[in-house]
Structure 1
Amino acid sequence: MSAPTAAPERLPSAAAATAHQREWFGGLVERVRGGEALALANADAPHEVLRALDVPYVVNQWWSSIISAKRAGPASLRAVAAAGLPDYSRQYDVLPLGAQGLLAEDAPWGGLPAPRFAIAERGGDVTHKIFEQWGRRPGTETFLLSRTAADPAPEGWWDLVTHRWEEVFGSPRIDLLQGEIEDLITWLEARLDRRLDRDRLADVMALANEQAEWNRRTRDLLASARPLPVPVTDIIPSVMVPQWHRGTRWAVEAAERLHDDVARRIDARAAVAPRERRRLMWIGRGLWSDLDMYRSFQEEFDAVFVWSMYLAIAADGYARYGEDPVRALAARFVGLTDLLYVPPMSSSWYVKEALAHGVDGVVHLVADDTPGGALISAALEDRGIPVLEIRGSNADARATASVRDRIAAFLRDRVPASA
C-alpha cells in the first residue's frame, strides 16, 4: 500500500463555492438597488418560502461569519454598545445589526443593503429582541415564528427524521409551525403583491432533499477515511455556502462536486497530516475569525480536526420527505435546534458521530444560548472521549483569545497519540 500524500492546499469545490458566494452577493446588491425587497432570515427560519417566492435573502449567521472573517466583528460590537444595546450576549446573532452602523468602506463587501423583512423564530430570551430591533429601523418589518419545547426523541432519530418526522417531533409542534408558516406566506404575499406557487415550493423542497442526500454520502466517506483527506476548513465553506442556497440546482451540483472531490482525495490517498495521530472533533459554531486555528496543531501534535457540525447536520438534519411541502418544511425547522443543542437528541447524536469518525478528543465551544452543553460533554466523556469545554462566543474575540493555548494544553495533557 502506498504512503499517504500531502493534500493540496485548497479543495476545488471550496474555492468554487467561495467565488460563487461573492459573485452572488454582488448580484443580490444590484437586485436590491433595482427595487427588490431584501429579507434577512435567521438560520432556523424557513428560507424555502423566500426561495419559492423569489425573494432575495441573506442569512443572519452567514453574514455574521463574513463580518467575523473580515475582522469587522469588534467594530460591529462597538456599534451595538454605542446604540445602548448589550454587546456581551448572542454576539453571533447581533453582529449584523451592529455592522449596519459601519461606513461602507469599513463594512465587509461594502455592507448589507437595508432589509425590507427580518424573519426569525423566538429562540430563548434574546433572538426575538434582536430581530425586533431590526423592525425598528426605517423600512424594515419583523416577522417572528414560535419556538416550541423539545419532546423526548426516539433513539436513533437520525434514521427516522427524513420520513418519520411526525414520530420524532410530535404532530402538535409541527401543526403550530405549519400554521405560522402559512401566516408568513400570507404576510409576504400581501407585501409583495404576488402569490406563492405551491408546486414551486415542492420543487424547492425536492432539490433541498437531493442536496442533503449528497451531504450524507460525503459525511459517510469522511467518517470512514483514514487518514483525513481534506481539511475541515475546506469542508465548511463547501457545505455551508450551498446550504444558504438550498432549493437551487446550483446547490445540489455544489454538494455533488464536494462529494466527488472528497472521493478523489480518498482514492489518491491524500492526507491533511500524513503522520496523523490525534483526531479531533469541534462542537459548536465555527471560529470564523481564526480559521487557521483548525490546522495549527498538525506539526507539533499530528492532530487534525476531522469533524464539524456543518457537514454532519447537513447530512442528518435537513432531509424531509412528504406530500405537503409546507408541513414538510415545518418538520425541517421545528426541531433543528433540538438536534444540535438539546439532550438527549443532541448528546446521542454527537456520540454517534464521534464514534463513527474515530475521534480521540473533542473541543466543545459552549455559547450562552446552548444550555445543554454540559450534558453533551458528559455523554462524550462517559464514552471515554476527553472533552475540552470553552465558554464563549465564536463571534467575540475577547472570549476566545486563548483558544489555541488551551487546545495545545488539552492535547498534551488529555489526548494520547494513537499508534
Structure 2
Amino acid sequence: MSRLPSAAAATAYQRRWFADLKEQVAAGTPLALVNADAPQEIFRAMGIPYVVNQWWASIVAAKQHTQEQLARLRERGYPDYTEQYSSTSLGSAFAPESGPWGGLPMPSIVLAETTGDASRKIFDVWAEQPGVTFYPLESAAADTVPERWWELMPHRWEEAVGTDRLDLMTGELHGLIRFLETTTGRRFSERRFTEVMDLVNEQEEWNRRTRDLIAAARPCPIAVTDGIPAVMIPQWHRGTEWARDAAKALHDEVAARIAAGTAVCEGERARLMWIGRGLWFDLDFYRRFQDRYGAVFVWSMYLAIAADGYLRYGGDPVRALAARFAAFSDQLYTPPWSAEWYVHQARTHGADGVVHLVSDDARGSWATTRALRAAGVPVLELHADNVDARRSDPAYLDRSVGDWLEAEVLGG
C-alpha cells in the first residue's frame, strides 16, 4: 500500500521547516529546546522557535546517528546508558553541525519538567553550555486520582488535575512568560495566546475523530508507521493553522479509506496495541508482523493521547495550559491514571494483544501490564530502549514477538 499522503506531506513540511529554522538561528533568532511534555504553546504565541527534544532524538535514531551522539556524552564522562531518549540531543551540544539534516542548532533556552534525577541532570549539563539557560518546571503529584480522567479533561480539568497542582504550574508558567520576555525581548499577547489555544483544541478534536474512526474500523485502514508522523509532526506545530489543517487532512484520508474498504493488511488476523515510545531505530519492525502473521498494530499512544490528553476548554487560558501539562506524565506512565486508560483503549479498539515496550526509565510499566492482563488482554513486554539499538537485536525482537503471537494471540 502506498504511503498515506498526510504522512508524506507532514514529513516534507518538517524538513522545510527545519531548514528555515536553521537559517533563522544563524541570523540571531533565539532557539528553545523543549521536552515533549512541556508547554510549547507559550513559545508559539510569542513567536519563539523551538525544537522538541524527543523529536530530534527520533530523527537521529531513524537516521542511525544515535551512537555518534551517545559517544560524545561518554567521551566527556557522562553516562550513555540512561534516558537516551532525552540525552541524545545533549550529544549535539558538543558538535552542533553533526548529525542528520546538518545537525541541531545550539539553543539559548532549554525547558523541561524535572521528572527524575537523571532528567534533571541532563538539563543541568545543558545549562553549563555557553549561552544556554535552563528553565525548570516542577513535577507535582496528587493524593487523589480521578476515575476515567479522559472524560473529565476537556471541560472539568480543574476537578481532574486538582487545584493545588494547577496553582503551582500556573504560577510557573507566568514566571516562564516573564523570563522569556526578559531574555528574548518578545512580548506575550493574551489575544494571540488565546488564538493558539483555540487552534490546538480544533486540532485535537480532529485527532479525536480520527482515533475513534480507527477504533471502530474493521479492518484497520492505515499503518501505524504512517499514523505516527501524520499525527506527531503536526503536534510539534500545535497552535498553527497548518497543524490544524494537517489533522483534518489525516481524518479525511482515514474516513475515505474506511468508506472504500481499504485495509492496510488484507489478511488481518489480529489487532495489536503498541504501548510505549516509537521504536525509532527500526520502524520496519511493525510491518514485519503484519506481513508474516496478519497482525496489525492499530494503536499507538501518539494518536490516542492527542485525542484524550490535550483538549482544554474554558477558564483562564494560562491555567488551561497548566491543566494540559500538570498531569501529562500521569496520563501515560503513572498508575492508576495510565493503567485504566490503556485498558479502556484496548477495549475500544478491540485489541487482541499488546506489545509493551519497557525502557529502563519507564515509570509504572508493571501496573500497565498487570491491568491489561487482569482485563484478559495478552501482553508481551519488550525490554529495550526506543532509540538505542545496542541491546535490541532485531532477530531477538522478531523471535520474541513471533513466538508470543503464535502462542497467546493467534491460538497456535
TM-score with structure 1 length normalisation?
Answer: 0.96
Paired AA for residue 209 in structure 1 = N
Q: Please give the secondary structure, in 2, of the residue aligned with 1:247.
A: coil
- Report the number of matched residues: 410
Paired AA for residue 172 in structure 1 = D
Q: Please give the secondary structure, in 2, of the residue aligned with 1:296.
A: helix
Alpha carbons of structure 1 residues 103 and 209: separation in structure 2 relative to 1, 3 Å = closer
Is contact 1:152-1:345 (8 Å) kept? no
2: CA distance between counterparts of 1:58 and 1:216?
Answer: 25
1: CA distance between counterparts of 2:36 and 2:96?
Answer: 26
Structure 1 residue aligned with 2:301: 309
Aligned-CA RMSD value: 1.2
Structure 1 residue aligned with 2:402: 408
| CA displacement, residues 350-375 of structure 1 (integer Å, 9 cap, x when unaligned) | 00100111111111011222221011
1: CA distance between counterparts of 2:128 and 2:302?
Answer: 32
Per-residue deviation at 1:103?
Answer: 6.9
Structure 1 residue aligned with 2:71: 78
Alignment of 1:252-267 (within 5 A): 252-267=244-259
2: CA distance between counterparts of 1:85 and 1:334?
Answer: 29
Alignment of 1:216-235 (within 5 A): 216-235=208-227
**Which of 147, 153, 165 is equivalent to 2:145?**
153
**Which of 378, 385, 393 is equivalent to 2:370?**
378
Structure 1 residue aligned with 2:15: 22
2: CA distance between counterparts of 1:217 and 1:48?
Answer: 22
1: CA distance between counterparts of 2:309 and 2:214?
Answer: 17
Alpha carbons of structure 1 residues 302 and 90: separation in structure 2 relative to 1, 3 Å = same
Q: Please give the secondary structure, in 1, of the residue aligned with 2:29.
A: coil
1: CA distance between counterparts of 2:312 and 2:385?
Answer: 31
Per-residue deviation at 1:102?
Answer: 4.1
Paired AA for residue 290 in structure 1 = D
| CA displacement, residues 235-289 of structure 1 (integer Å, 9 cap, x when unaligned) | 0000000000000000000000000010011011111111111111100000011
Is contact 1:152-1:344 (8 Å) kept? no
**Which of 314, 319, 344 is equivalent to 1:322?**
314
Is contact 2:96-2:106 (8 Å) kept? no
2: CA distance between counterparts of 1:415 and 1:159?
Answer: 30
Pair 1:168 & 2:144 matched: no
Q: Which runs of 5+ in 2 are unaligned?
A: none
Identity across the alignment (%): 55
Structure 1 residue aligned with 2:358: 366
Q: Which runs of 5+ in 1 are unaligned?
A: 1-7
Is contact 2:43-2:49 (8 Å) kept? yes
TM-score with structure 2 length normalisation?
Answer: 0.97
Is contact 2:14-2:233 (8 Å) kept? yes
**Which of 255, 265, 276 is equivalent to 2:268?**
276
Is contact 1:285-1:365 (8 Å) kept? yes
**Which of 83, 89, 96 is equivalent to 1:96?**
89
**Which of 57, 69, 76 is equivalent to 2:62?**
69
**Which of 96, 102, 113 is equivalent to 1:110?**
102
2: CA distance between counterparts of 1:185 and 1:404?
Answer: 47
| CA displacement, residues 287-330 of structure 1 (integer Å, 9 cap, x when unaligned) | 01110110101232111111100000000000111231110000
Paired AA for residue 64 in structure 2 = R
Paired AA for residue 413 in structure 1 = A
Structure 2 residue aligned with 1:3: none
Q: Please give the secondary structure, in 1, of the residue aligned with 2:51.
A: strand
Is contact 2:96-2:104 (8 Å) kept? no
Alignment of 1:137-148 (within 5 A): 137-148=129-140
Pair 1:339 & 2:339 matched: no
Per-residue deviation at 1:198?
Answer: 1.0
Is contact 1:393-1:400 (8 Å) kept? yes
Is contact 2:32-2:107 (8 Å) kept? yes
Q: Please give the secondary structure, in 2, of the residue aligned with 1:188.
A: helix
2: CA distance between counterparts of 1:81 and 1:244?
Answer: 29
Is contact 1:341-1:372 (8 Å) kept? yes
Q: Please give the secondary structure, in 2, of the residue aligned with 1:306.
A: strand
2: CA distance between counterparts of 1:417 and 1:316?
Answer: 33
